[in-house]
Amino acid sequence: LHLVALNFPLSGDMRADFQCFRQAQLAGLTSTYRAFLSSHLQDLATVVRKTDRHHLPIANLQGETLFSNWESIFDGNGGQFNIHVPIYSFDGRNVMTDSSWPQKVIWHGSTANGIRLVSNYCEAWHTADMGALGQASPLNTGKLLDQKVYSCNNQFIVLCIENSFVSDPQG
């Protein structure tokens, strides 16, 4: 399963699932992509189908492994990953080094175990109000689920996860 960033940073008022779907299509990817965010309907830990959570590695757009599987992101250690493995956007830029993302922080709205934090997810990702709060993680910590709180008016990286693996019928 691929973990890919949206092509631009977003504040707390976002239609992230739609953006993930649209940018994946524009990039020619055939799988379904969902936002790497807890929402009012779903905890982040359950975004990937149950059948795909244990046996598929989580990789960047170039196929380099970030996590051994989906479940390993939510083992309580904050989603520790190797910061030397880049995270790419749908248009192929490395979010860790590209200036289009001046703040190297990702929104997630979750606990370290991938459960939604209702008080810290920018009112279900519907507000960029300075007084509203969202849970996010600075990537320089080497964690996708570090527990930091930021104002929803910040423009941060939004990740998308391929949420269903479809094997190539021609393969």
pLDDT tens, position by position, 111-159 = 999 999 999 999 999 999 999 999 999 999 999 999 999 999 999 999 9
- Which tens digit of pLDDT belongs to each residue from 18-49? 999 999 999 999 999 999 999 998 999 999 99
Could you tell me which residues come within 8 angstroms of residue 25 by beta carbon, excluding any fewer than 6 positions away? none
Residue 155 CB: number of other CB atoms within 10 A?
A: 17
Distance CA 25, CA 19 (A): 10
Residue 139 lies in a domain: yes
Q: Please indicate, yes or no, if residue 71 is contained in any of the structural domains.
A: yes
Residue 161 falls inside a structural domain:
yes
Residue 136 lies in a domain: yes
Task: Return the pLDDT at 80.
Answer: 96
pTM above 0.85, yes or no: yes
Residue 84 lies in a domain: yes
How many degrees, rounded to 5, is the angle at CA 38 between CA 120 and CA 60? 120
In a domain, 171, yes or no: no
Report yes or no on 102 lying in a domain. Answer: yes
User: How many domains would you assign to the chain?
Assistant: 1
7 located within any domain: yes
Domain that holds residue 42: 1-166
Rounded to the nearest 5 degrees, what angle is found at the Cα of 130, between the Cα atoms of 124 and 135? 45
CATH classification of the domain holding 129: 3.10.100.10
